[in-house]
Amino acid sequence: MTDIHALAVAKLSPMFVSQLATAFTLHDRLHETDPAAFAALAPRIRALAASGDSKVSAELMATLPALEVISVMGVGYDGIAVQAAKARGIVVTHTPGVLNDDVADLALGLMLCAARQLPAADRHAREGSWLQAPMPLARKMSGARLGLVGIGRIGQAIASRAAAFGMSIAYTARSARPGLPFPFFDSPRALAAEVDFLVVITPGGADTRHLIDAEVLRALGKGRGEGILVNVARGSVVDEAALIDALERGVIAGAGLDVFEDEPRIPVRLSALPHVVLTPHIGSATGQTRQAMADLAFANLREHFAGRPLPTPVPECRG
Ligand code: NAP
């Protein structure tokens, strides 16, 4: 297969790159780094290799007449113009399932950190403030009410962990899943009004943009400054300006955030807040999971060029 030309459209994991390099002639971000060389090569590019936060526009695809397949190393593919790909018969693949545990683990970690104020407690102990005063009391997590905005593969992995904490679980999505034993609410606002922790785990993109807005945050706070918001989905799902405002004014109690609207940039007003826990989009960032994601992203390309069924096409490209 090494006569097949593939283009990396973003800085990719070395675990993915090392496999790609054994099977393809791999070009690294040529469209950005060397437009002249890219223009000469573009007619021969048959595969794109991308990460979960990569952008692949219809315009980029239009410059690649031989493009057949786009493999995303990540489950979220909101940066890929899937309908434009589909219209051209280009198949898009992603890596669902193998990262469920890690993202769910991080969601629970952010819930615990925000509720029990673990980063602040660490600073309190480390910096000697304990000599002056004990830590202020925190919020109990075990037995509290969890609301999930999205209850797909990762949402259900979060639910099973939360059950071990004795939490009650409810959810919202576009439609109820009859097989699940949890109450369904028909909007994030209705759900937020009934829970202590609201965890966001939907896809990003236009359909979910600002699903969590000022009104949802007001419902979560219940007029008493309660409620903790955790976002492990995409920054675009939460109206970040409304969230900052709600946190500054004490509308809600706190937040745990792995994703941001303009990441890797985080607004100073957000990072200045003491009752917020921030992580730099590390939901799937363990060696074990990144290897499994790289293996699956590579397998999708390998199977495509071997003429075999694809392991994990995105839903829009199935069947
Ligand atoms: P999934 O199995 O497809 O589940 C998505 C859930 O979101 C479903 O319950 C779906 O239910 C719901 N949903 C979709 N569109 C919605 C809308 N417009 N309004 C309300 N609910 C909606 O996906 P997954 O594998 O759990 O992954 C979810 C997302 O997590 C990914 O797309 C990605 O953005 C994010 N993620 C983040 C990290 C990280 O590092 N932080 C890592 C991996 C994934 P309905 O279809 O019934 O609406």
| Residue whose CA is at the smallest distance from ligand 1 atom 1 | 152
Does the active-site annotation cover 124? no
Please report the domains of the chain, with CATH numbers, ordered by start residue: 5-97+288-317 (3.40.50.720), 100-278 (3.40.50.720)
Cβ pair 284, 103 in contact under 8 A = yes
Contact by Cβ (8 Å): 82, 55: no
Q: What is the pLDDT of residue 319?
A: 79
41 CA from centroid of ligand 1 (Å): 36
Residue 265 Cα, ligand 1 centroid: separation in angstroms? 23
Residue-wise pLDDT for 2-13, tens only, equals 799 999 999 999
Residue 154 Cα: closest atom of ligand 1: 26
Active site residue 210: no
Mutate to test the pocket of ligand 1, among 51, 75, 169 (most ligand atoms within 8 A of CB): 75
Strand order in the sheet with 276-278: 184-185, 168-172, 145-149, 197-200, 228-231, 254-257, 276-278
Predicted pLDDT of residue 2: 77
Q: What tens digit of pLDDT does each residue of 208-244 get? A: 999 999 999 999 999 999 999 999 999 999 999 999 9
Give residue 44 CA to ligand 1 midpoint distance, Å: 34
CA of 203 to the centre of ligand 1 (A): 4
Instruction: Clarify whether 281 is annotated catalytic.
Output: yes
- Cα–Cα distances (Å) from 306 to 16, 38, 166, in that order, read 18, 26, 48
Q: What angle is formed at CA 183 by the lines to CA 255 and CA 226, rounded to 5 degrees?
A: 25
- Point out the ligand 1 atom lying closest to the alpha carbon of residue 258: 41
List, for residues 245-268, the tens digit of each pLDDT value: 999 999 999 999 999 999 999 999
Ligand 1 contacts CB of residue 32 (under 6 A): no
Active site residue: 263, 275, 303, 316, which one? Answer: 263
Establish whether residue 175 lines the binding site of ligand 1, counting it when its CB lies within 6 angstroms of any ligand atom: yes
What pLDDT was estimated at residue 1? 61
Mean pLDDT of the chain: 97
